C-alpha cells in the first residue's frame, strides 16, 4: 500500500462509544519501522451535526458526509438506533445519500450491528457476514440474501468485512492491519492496546446457554501446551491424553470453550505461525511447513490457500519483498 490509507469512520445517531473508538485506536496505532503512521483515521456524520451516543453524552464530530468521498476504507460502528435498516431492510434517505459518496473500490467494514447498514445498502447480498449473536436470527430474517454466520468473530469477504459484537471489532481491525501490513505491525498494535493479536474460536463461546454442571476440566492448558509443539504431530488423541480426558469429552469441551474443533484450531494456529516465519525468517517453504507441523510445502500451500487465498511464496514477497 502506498502512502497513508484513509479510514473514515461513519458515526450514526445512537452510536456506541466503545465501538466508535476502536478504529482510531487500532488503525491510528499502526506504524511502519520508522515510526510513521500507516493510516489516517477521520470521523464523520451523515449531516455534519453532532450525534447522540447510547450513553449519557453527545459526540461532537468535525466532518460531514463529504469526507466519505475521500475514503479508502469506511468503518460503520454499532448503533442501537438503526431505524428502517433494522425494521424493514432499507436505508433512510440521508444515509443513502451519504454512502453514495463513497468511491468505487473502497473497503467497507462494520462493527457489530453496523452490519445492518451494509446489508440495507445491498453490499452484503450473496456474501457471508456476521453480526452480534443476539441479532443473528433477526438479521437473517430481514436480509435473506445474506449468508449469516453467527459463530465467528469476523468475516473477511475481501472488500467487505463484518465483525461480531463489541470487542470483535478489535479482532477485525487487527486482522485488517495484519492483512495490509503483516503480522509484525499488527502484533505491535495489539501489544500497545494490551489485547491478544488474535483470539481463539468465535462467538459460539459467548452465546448464552444453560450453565453446565460445575467441573474443573478445561482445555486451556492443553491449548497452551500445543502452541509450543506445533511442529510435532498433534492428533486429537494426544491432545485429549494431555488434558486427561477421553477424546469425546475433550472434543465437546474444546468446542464449548473455543467455538471450533481442535483440528480447525490447530490449522489456524499453524497458519498464523507460518505467516510469522515467512515474514521474519529465511527458511525455505518446505522448512517452514515442517516447523509449523504441516509436513510438506504442498500441505502448507493448500492450507494457506484455503485460509488466506494466497500461496506462501506470494505472501513472503508481499511482506518481505524477497524471493522464496
pLDDT at 209: 44
Task: Check if the beta carbon of residue 295 is closer than 8 Å to that of residue 307.
Answer: no
Q: Look up the pTM and report it.
A: 0.74
Which region among 196-200, 303-307, 318-322 has the lowest average model confidence (pLDDT)?
A: 318-322
User: Alpha helix (H) ranges present in 163-296?
Assistant: 168-181, 183-193, 220-227, 236-242, 247-258, 262-280, 285-292
Task: Check if the beta carbon of residue 8 is closer than 8 Å to that of residue 73.
Answer: yes
pLDDT tens for 257-314 read 887 899 999 998 999 899 889 988 899 999 999 999 999 999 999 999 888 788 999 8
Tell me how far apart the terminal alpha carbons of the chain are, to the nearest angstrom.
21
Q: How far is CA 69 from CA 62, 100, 192, 246, in A?
A: 15, 9, 31, 57
255-294 in b/e form (b: 16+ CB < 10 A) is bebbbbebeebbbbbbbbbbbbbbbeeebebbebbbbbbb
Amino acid at each position: 500500500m502506498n502512502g497513508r490509507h484513509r479510514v473514515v469512520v461513519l458515526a450514526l445517531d445512537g452510536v456506541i462509544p466503545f465501538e466508535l473508538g476502536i478504529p482510531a485506536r487500532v488503525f491510528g496505532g499502526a506504524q511502519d519501522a520508522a515510526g510513521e503512521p500507516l493510516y489516517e483515521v477521520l470521523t464523520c456524520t451523515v449531516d455534519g451535526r453532532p450525534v447522540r451516543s447510547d450513553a449519557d453524552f453527545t459526540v461532537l464530530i468535525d466532518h460531514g458526509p463529504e469526507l466519505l468521498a475521500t475514503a479508502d476504507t469506511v468503518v460503520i460502528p454499532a448503533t442501537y438506533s438503526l431505524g428502517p435498516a433494522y425494521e424493514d431492510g432499507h436505508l433512510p434517505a440521508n444515509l443513502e445519500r451519504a454512502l453514495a459518496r463513497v468511491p468505487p473500490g473502497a473497503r467497507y467494514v462494520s462493527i457489530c450491528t453496523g452490519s445492518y447498514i451494509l446489508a440495507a445498502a445491498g453490499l452484503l447480498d450473496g456474501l457471508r457476514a456476521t453480526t452480534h449473536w443476539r441479532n443473528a436470527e433477526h438479521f437473517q430474517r430481514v436480509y435473506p440474501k445474506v449468508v449469516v454466520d453467527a459463530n465467528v468473530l469476523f468475516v473477511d469477504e475481501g472488500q467487505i468485512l463484518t465483525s461480531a459484537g463489541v470487542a470483535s471489532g478489535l479482532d477485525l481491525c487487527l486482522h485488517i492491519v495484519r492483512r495490509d501490513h503483516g503480522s509484525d505491525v499488527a502484533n505491535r498494535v495489539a501489544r500497545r492496546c494490551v489485547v491478544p493479536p488474535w483470539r481463539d474460536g468465535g462467538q459460539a463461546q459467548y452465546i448464552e446457554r444453560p450453565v453446565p454442571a460445575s467441573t474443573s476440566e478445561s482445555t486451556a492448558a492443553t491449548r497452551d501446551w500445543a502452541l509450543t509443539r506445533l511442529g510435532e504431530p498433534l492428533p486429537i488423541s494426544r491432545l485429549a491424553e494431555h488434558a486427561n480426558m477421553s477424546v469425546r469429552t475433550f472434543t465437546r469441551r474444546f468446542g464449548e470453550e473455543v467455538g471450533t474443533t481442535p483440528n480447525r484450531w490447530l490449522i489456524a494456529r499453524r497458519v498464523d505461525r507460518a505467516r510469522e516465519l515467512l515474514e521474519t525468517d529465511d527458511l525455505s517453504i518446505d522448512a517452514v511447513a515442517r516447523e509449523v507441523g504441516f509436513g510438506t510445502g504442498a500441505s502448507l500451500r493448500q492450507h494457506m490457500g484455503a485460509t488466506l487465498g494466497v500461496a506462501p511464496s506470494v505472501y513472503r514477497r508481499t511482506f518481505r519483498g524477497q524471493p522464496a
